[in-house]
């Protein structure tokens, strides 16, 4: 007997509201897929950090066990999948478990197999290949999605770099990116030999490097999902980048805004078209499911350039999956789950994309990822709890009530998801938490608003810490957790 084909959004929503097999999102926190448990029955978050102090009904945090120092999110996930309490939970829930991750590797895949489960993402090896910034340029070239004028080459010295740049007509004011890593850590701005010397150990001997002409640009992000029916494209979001109040990393991502008029209509449409083309090329490369593209928009010309590909959910996913169009139809990640479920579906992707391009389908929200920006290390003694905060008329920020969902946010309010808890080290670059509010965080000139600065100050002021004993050595982790 042939499987029933899901023929419209209503049937897709009902399919997940009656989902039988457990689906687990395993990660350091549940931030990236916050709220998805309200769309999918039997959806559970397995987390290392308890951002909600045991008060979220679908977050499971096992007790802490001794472990090697984590070097990556993959290490955290592999620790969780081997934890007896997690194994017991999966066995207790039974069914045919499915697992989704922010990051995973081949060890993760083996651990999921041991649990009798399936990873609902493309294979780790393929994701790693797609994640290579050099490979992204090549995929974009095939798809007709242009990158900033660049050259791809190993770099042996500053003199060699100048030769490559001159040959490619890039000038001497350059931006270099290594194949892997977070943009805040592995993007280097080089306009002199002195600049090069500072980062030489991170450039020379690191294989192919992406060498770009420096442009005066604005960052943007757009998420999509490559399905067998075609690529479904979300809205173009602004990016908060490098604000010293939020991050110590120059060029480091620190938030997003989503609002209907974020960019001129022509820019929004162009970004959507390029994202669709890129998604269709990804399908040819064997990749399917959720992905995110960063576009760089030249401030002078308005030209759109491909920045990078994230073949996964990202820090912007909570924005995409909570937008007005998501509530009207379905969150973008639901289509990812649908793609991997094997359930036949038949959607008019062109019609869906046209509807999601309508400005009326986008409401205005912003999120700020707040890091500890001082060059200091101490131990947190008090941290503000997750929930809804209110800004008083005098600009003070106060805790109002507990909630684990941003939809409860009203005027002069924001939802704060706490990351750092009492007893944790607070070091330069440590994630304190994420603040989500209605409206914009930046001005039309893309500077932080005064209100945003008050929110940041209010949240940071709610943390208290004691000095680190002088004999205690500390080394901050070199990876981000969201």
Question: Residue 412: CB partners within 8 Å, gap ≥ 6?
Answer: 390, 391
Question: Residue 36: CB partners within 8 Å, gap ≥ 6?
Answer: 25, 43, 321, 331, 333, 334
Rounded Cα–Cα distance for residues 11 and 296 (Å): 37
Query: Is 477's pLDDT higher than 80?
Result: no
Rounded Cα–Cα distance for residues 252 and 390 (Å): 28
Rounded Cα–Cα distance for residues 425 and 380 (Å): 6
CB atoms within 10 A of CB 162: 16
Name the residue with tokens 């990873």.
Answer: 119
By three-state DSSP, how is residue 215 classified?
coil
The pLDDT tens digits for 422-444 are 999 999 999 999 999 999 999 99
DSSP state of 287: -
pLDDT score of 182: 63
Rg (CA), the chain: 22
By three-state DSSP, how is residue 136 classified?
helix
Question: Residue 130: CB partners within 8 Å, gap ≥ 6?
Answer: 122, 136, 139, 282, 285, 287, 291, 309, 311
Query: Is 474's pLDDT higher than 70?
Result: no
The strand pairing partners of 464, in sequence order, are: 382
Q: What percent of the chain has pLDDT over 70?
A: 97
Helix-strand-coil percent breakdown of the chain, rounded to 5?
30, 25, 40
Query: Is 130's pLDDT higher than 50?
Result: yes
**Tokens describing residue 141:** 């070239």
Rounded Cα–Cα distance for residues 165 and 159 (Å): 10
Mean pLDDT of 371-392: 97
The b/e string for 129-141 (b: 16+ C-beta within 10 A; e otherwise) is bbbbbbbbbebbe
pLDDT score of 184: 57
Mean pLDDT of 266-272: 96
| Alpha carbon separation from 309 to 9, 127, 177, 306, 441 (Å, rounded) | 28, 11, 13, 8, 25
Inter-residue contact 371 to 432 (CB < 8 Å): yes
| Alpha carbon separation from 132 to 45, 127, 146, 424 (Å, rounded) | 28, 9, 16, 32
pTM given for the model: 0.94
The b/e string for 38-69 (b: 16+ C-beta within 10 A; e otherwise) is ebbebbbbbbbbbbbeeebeebbbbeeeeeee
Query: Is 475's pLDDT higher than 70?
Result: no
pLDDT score of 250: 81
Q: Work out the angle at residue 25's Cα, subtended by the Cα atoms of residues 22 and 27, and round it to the nearest 5 degrees.
A: 150
pLDDT score of 3: 73
Rounded Cα–Cα distance for residues 58 and 34 (Å): 10
Centroid of chain to Cα 306: 17
**Tokens describing residue 332:** 């973008």
Q: If you average pLDDT over each of 37-41, 249-253, 467-471, which comes out highest?
A: 37-41
Rounded Cα–Cα distance for residues 127 and 401 (Å): 40
Query: Is 446's pLDDT higher than 90?
Result: yes
Question: Residue 123: CB partners within 8 Å, gap ≥ 6?
Answer: 109
Rounded Cα–Cα distance for residues 410 and 403 (Å): 12
pLDDT score of 476: 60
**Tokens describing residue 273:** 């078209």
Query: Is 181's pLDDT higher than 90?
Result: no
- Confidence class of residue 472 from pLDDT cuts 50, 70 and 90? low
Query: Is 2's pLDDT higher than 60?
Result: no
CB atoms within 10 A of CB 467: 10
Query: Is 473's pLDDT higher than 80?
Result: no
Inter-residue contact 137 to 210 (CB < 8 Å): yes
- Confidence class of residue 251 from pLDDT cuts 50, 70 and 90? confident
- Confidence class of residue 318 from pLDDT cuts 50, 70 and 90? very high
Mean pLDDT value across the chain: 94
By three-state DSSP, how is residue 320 classified?
helix
The pLDDT tens digits for 4-44 are 899 999 999 999 999 999 999 999 999 999 999 999 999 99
Burial class (CB in 10 A: 0-12, 13-18, 19+), 76: buried
Given the DSSP bridges, would you call strands 150-153 and 209-213 parallel, antiparallel or unpaired? Answer: antiparallel
Query: Is 183's pLDDT higher than 60?
Result: no
Q: Give the lowest-confidence range in 177-186, 247-256, 398-407.
A: 177-186
- Confidence class of residue 186 from pLDDT cuts 50, 70 and 90? confident
Query: Is 471's pLDDT higher than 60?
Result: no
């Amino acid at each position: 007997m042939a499987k029933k084909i899901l023929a419209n959004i209503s049937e897709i929503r009902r399919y997940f509201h009656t989902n039988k097999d457990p689906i687990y999102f395993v990660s350091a926190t549940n931030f990236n897929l916050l709220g998805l448990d309200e769309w999918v029955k039997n959806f559970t978050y397995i987390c290392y950090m308890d951002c909600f102090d045991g008060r979220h009904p679908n977050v499971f945090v096992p007790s802490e066990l001794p472990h090697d120092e984590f070097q990556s999110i993959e290490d955290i996930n592999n620790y969780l999948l081997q934890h007896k309490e997690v194994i017991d939970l999966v066995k207790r829930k039974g069914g045919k478990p499915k697992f989704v991750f922010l990051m995973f590797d081949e060890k993760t895949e083996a651990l999921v197999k041991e649990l009798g489960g399936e990873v609902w993402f493309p294979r780790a090896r393929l994701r790693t290949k797609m994640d290579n910034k050099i490979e992204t340029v090549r995929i974009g070239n095939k798809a007709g999605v242009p990158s900033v004028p660049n050259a791809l080459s190993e770099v042996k010295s500053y003199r060699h770099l100048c030769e490559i740049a001159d040959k490619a007509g890039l000038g001497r004011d350059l931006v270099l990116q290594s194949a892997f890593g977070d943009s805040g850590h592995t993007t280097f701005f080089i306009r002199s030999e002195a600049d090069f010397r500072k980062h030489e150990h991170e450039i020379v001997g690191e294989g192919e490097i992406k060498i770009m002409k420096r442009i005066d640009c604005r960052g943007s992000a757009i998420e999509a999902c490559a399905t067998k029916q075609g690529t479904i494209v979300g809205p173009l979001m602004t990016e908060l980048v490098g604000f010293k109040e939020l991050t110590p990393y120059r060029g480091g991502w620190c938030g997003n805004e989503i609002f209907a008029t974020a960019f001129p209509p022509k820019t929004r449409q162009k970004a959507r078209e390029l994202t669709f083309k890129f998604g269709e090329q990804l399908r040819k490369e064997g990749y399917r499911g959720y992905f995110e593209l960063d576009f760089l928009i030249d401030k002078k010309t308005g030209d759109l350039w491909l920045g990078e590909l994230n073949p996964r959910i990202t820090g912007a996913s909570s924005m995409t999956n909570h937008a007005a169009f998501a509530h009207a139809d379905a969150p973008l990640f639901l289509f990812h789950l649908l793609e991997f479920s094997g359930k036949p579906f038949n959607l008019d992707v062109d019609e869906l994309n046209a509807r999601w391009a309508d400005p009326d389908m986008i409401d205005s929200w912003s999120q700020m990822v707040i890091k500890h920006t001082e060059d200091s290390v101490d131990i947190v003694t008090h941290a503000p709890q997750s929930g809804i905060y209110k800004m008083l008329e005098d600009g003070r920020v106060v805790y109002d009530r507990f909630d684990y969902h941003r939809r409860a946010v009203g005027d002069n309010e924001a939802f704060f998801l706490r990351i750092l808890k009492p007893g944790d080290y607070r070091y330069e670059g440590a994630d304190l938490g994420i603040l989500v509010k209605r409206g914009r965080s930046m001005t039309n000139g893309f500077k932080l608003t005064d209100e945003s600065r008050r929110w940041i100050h209010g949240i940071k002021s709610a943390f208290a810490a004691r000095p680190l004993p002088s004999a205690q050595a500390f080394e901050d982790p070199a990876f981000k957790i969201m």
